[in-house]
Amino acid sequence: MDPIDVKHDFETLETAVRRHLVDALTLAHGNQRQAAALLGVTRWELARLVKRFELRHHVTTMRSEGEPVTRKPVGDGAPERAPYGHDG
């Protein structure tokens, strides 16, 4: 069996995963929930990966430079109040 000729520009799996994480976090402007959705992992799995690859600085940099994060309200706003009494 012949040895495999490895090219010097071939990246390792570790490097590819790190690059993919950085790309997802960049696309999501540092929002880890959105990046996790892009990657198809849970928010907690992404947090572990961010810690493992030491990307916390990248996350905070992207959040401060990215577009402002806006949260959409659920429903039409404030919840309706229940009527007083039993008859309504």
User: Could you state, in order of their start, the residue ranges of all structural domains in the chain?
Assistant: 13-65
Asked if residues 35 and 28 have their Cβ atoms less than 8 Å apart, the reply is yes
Beta strands in 2-88 (DSSP E): none
pTM: 0.64
| Tokens of residue 64, six digits | 């401060």
- DSSP states of 55-72: -HHHHHHHHHHSPPP--P
Asked if residues 32 and 25 have their Cβ atoms less than 8 Å apart, the reply is yes
pLDDT attached to residue 71: 46
CA of 52: how far to CAs of 36, 48, 88, in Å? Answer: 15, 6, 57
Condensed to tens digits (0 to 9), the pLDDT of residues 10-52 reads 889 999 999 999 999 999 999 999 999 999 999 999 999 999 9
